Structure formats: C-alpha cells, structure tokens
Amino acid sequence: MTKVREADRSGAAPRASLPEIFWAFLVIGATSFGGGVVAYLRNVLVIGRGWLDEEQFLSALEIAQALPGLNATNMSVIVGDRLRGPPGAALAFIGMTAPGAALVMALGVLYASNAENPYVNAGLIGVGAAAVGMLSAVTFQIGRKQLAAPIDLAIILVTVTMVSFFHISLVIVLLTVGPLAVLIYRPRPGGVGAQPPE
Amino acid sequence: MQDQNLGVFGVFALLSVLAVGGGSAVLPEMKTLVVETHHWLNDDQFRDIYGLGQMAPGPNMLMVIVIGYHVTGFLGAFLAFFGFFVPAGLISFIGSRLWDHFEGSPWRRALQDGMAPLVVGLMIAGVIAIARTAINDWATLALAVGVFLGVAFAKRVNPSLFILAGGLIGLAALR
C-alpha cells in the first residue's frame, strides 16, 4: 500500500536514491544562510534535481506550513518521505540539520568560553540588533497580505496583545484565537470552498 | 542534574509541538520558559544566542542547541535539539500522510485562512520578544531599521551578510 502511494505521489519524477537525497539536503543545510530556506529547497528539488514539479512542491510546502515545526525540517521530512519513504525522510532531515547544528554547536562552545570578552559582546549586540531587523523584514514579507485585510489585522492585533503585552501562554492563545479564526473562515453554505462572501 | 536534562527535553519538546507557524512564532514562549520560568539564561544571553543562531545555515532555530549546552553541556545540547526538532518532524511525517485524506474538504481551506493571521501575529510577537532584549538605545534601533530596509529592498543581497555586517558594526562601535 505504501509502495502504491509513493508511486502515485512521485508521479513520473525520476527516482531518487537514498545517498542522492542525503547529499541534496546536506547541500541545502550547509548553504542556506540567512533564512529563506524555501527558496533554496525549490532551487534544488524543483529546478536542480527535478524530483518534484512546481505543484508537488507547493502542496508539500502547504502541509509543512500548516503543521507545527519549522518549514525547513518539515519539508525535509515530507519530501524525503515522498521520494523514498521513512528512510528518505530520516536522511533528508539529518542532511538538513547536521551542517547548521555542527556550526551552531561550535559557535556555542566558543561563546560559552568567551562570554566575558568585550569584543564578543559588542559583536553580538550588533548581531542581535541586525537579527531584529531581518526578522521584522521576513515577518512583513510573509504577512503582507494578512496585514492589509481588516479581519486578519484584527486577529493579528489580538494575538500580539495577548502574547506580548498580557504574556498569555501560547497554549491558551492557540486554543482560543485558533478556533475563533478558523470559525471566521468556516465554509459557507452555497459558497465554493471556504471563501468568505465577497 | 538529571532533572535539568529532563527539563531541557520537556521544554523544547513542548515548544516543538506548539511551533505552529514555525520557529519565530514560538520565540516569546521560548524566552518566557528559558529566561523567566527556568532561569537558564538572562536576557542578554538569550539575545546573544539568538544572534549566534542567525549566523548558521539551515533551519533558523538551531540555536536551541546552545541553550541546552548552557544548561547541562553536550547532553543538554543534544536533548534540546532532539526535543525541538524530532516531535515536530514526526508530526509532519504522520500529518503529511493523513493530509491527503482531507483533500477537497472545505475545512482545510478554512484552517489555512484562519491560521495565517494568527501565525503572523505570533511572528510579530517573536520580533517584539527579541527586540526587547536587543534594542536598548538609538544605535541598536538604527542598526535594526537599517537591516530591515536592506532585507526588504536589496533582495539580491543574502540576508546573512546583513547579520555579519551588524556584528562588524558592533565591533567597530566599541573601538
């Protein structure tokens, strides 16, 4: 059954071997500096290797974004599984995380032994401020559509207020705002799909 | 020590499952648990370690490894990594196989449309959480605004170069 489904999903795409999957994700994991892993994934999986077509890539991305966890690792698990089942998922995940994890570990050990060094501190104060700038730009790019829609903007403001100003636990925010937001976008009778009435 | 290890695993496994919308959506909760609840790090260390994570390739929350390392050494580093990445990975594995069963369900669309603004809100809260530790004066604010404009408008420049530049400016300002 698993075999049949994998065949269905991968369609006519060339079959990837396990070492090829590991190597492809290792390269993405080692080169995707500066966030935006999705663009690197698309370059390698769709354009470079041709393992997925645009539509298959977007459908995997849609799932990766809807489930908890990071897009990068979720995509590695989902695409690895579709290409080669559980071993593919495991190898893609390891390839995706190993290079960055090794570098972060090395930086972390250096940081722990140099935490009092004024140059290290000054450098990291700059890095921290720059990271705020980058994260806000990424957030703005991802949220552009939602920030411009009044209903979405209201949901955003409620969420930010609860988390940042009232320090309400994330579990509670997810369990209250989540169902409410889905209810707002609930499927309407007579409508096609879940589009709210125009 | 054993309790600490268990604590590290527990905290990051919980954050893993809650990380709907990715890593930065879970930053405020991570900061609360790591800094305020467990006192594993202070504000400045949290900012520093978040910054370290931005200098590495791959998924942007690998910095959880360094947090674990600060609590119980290399075992803590491994447990933080395992706790933060493996539960969500397993959910993705199972979830993607189940997802196709709901193909065409109108509720799938409702779920996506409804969760999108919630995720954007959580990401903004993530920015606020990091900004509260990283923006202390006009200089850091100016640097953040500069990088924001750079990332937003100079799209061909790899964002990690801005992070590196931030570090160099920090160094230069000290001298």
The enclosing H or E element of A173 equals helix A170-184
What is the model's pLDDT at position A191? 52
**Per-residue confidence at B106, pLDDT binned at 50, 70, 90?**
confident
Residues B119 and B141 in one domain: no
Residues B27 and B57 in one domain: yes
HEC secondary structure over chain B: CHHHHHHHHHHHHHHHHHCECCCHHHHHHHHHHHHHHCCCCCHHHHHHHHHHHHCCCCCCCCCHHHHHHHHHHHHHHHHHHHHHHHHHHHHHHHHHHHHHHHCCCHHHHHHHHHHHHHHHHHHHHHHHHHHHHHCCCHHHHHHHHHHHHHHHHCCCCCHHHHHHHHHHHHHHHHC
What is the number of domains present in chain B? 2
* A60, A121, A125 member nearest B140 (Cβ): A125
A155 touches chain B (CB under 8 A): yes
Residues B79 and B31 in one domain: yes
Structural domain of B36: 2-134
The encoded tokens of residue A72 equal: 């990068």
Residues B31 and B55 in one domain: yes
Question: Which chain A positions have a beta carbon within 8 Å of B151's beta carbon?
Answer: 133-134, 137-138
> What digits encode the pLDDT tens for the residues B114-160?
988 998 999 999 999 999 999 999 999 999 999 999 988 887 888 88
> What digits encode the pLDDT tens for the residues A8-60?
444 445 578 999 999 999 999 998 886 678 888 988 999 889 999 988 888 88
pLDDT, averaged across chain B: 91
Residues B27 and B66 in one domain: yes
Question: Which chain B positions have a beta carbon within 8 Å of A157's beta carbon?
Answer: 121
> What digits encode the pLDDT tens for the residues A135-188?
899 888 888 999 999 999 999 999 999 999 999 999 999 999 999 999 999 988
Whether the predicted interface score ipTM is above 0.95: no
Question: Hey, are the CB atoms on B28 and A170 less than 8 Å from each other?
Answer: yes
B11 touches chain A (CB under 8 A): no
Residues B122 and B48 in one domain: yes
**Per-residue confidence at B105, pLDDT binned at 50, 70, 90?**
confident
How many Cβ pairs closer than 8 A exist between chain A and B? 378
The chain B residue lying nearest A70, using CA atoms, is B22
A105 Cα to chain B: minimum distance (Å)? 6
Residues B76 and B145 in one domain: no
Residues B72 and B145 in one domain: no
B60 touches chain A (CB under 8 A): yes
Distances (CA, A) of B108 to A6, A80, A185, B105, B121: 22, 23, 10, 6, 20
What is the model's pLDDT at position A193? 47
Residues B123 and B145 in one domain: no
Residues B124 and B38 in one domain: yes
* B47, B121, B125 member nearest A128 (Cβ): B47
Residues B103 and B164 in one domain: no
What is the model's pLDDT at position B1? 55
Q: Domain map of chain A by residue range? A: 2-113, 118-184
Q: Is the pLDDT of residue A192 over 60?
A: no
A27 touches chain B (CB under 8 A): no
Q: Is the pLDDT of residue A3 over 50?
A: no
Residues B85 and B154 in one domain: no
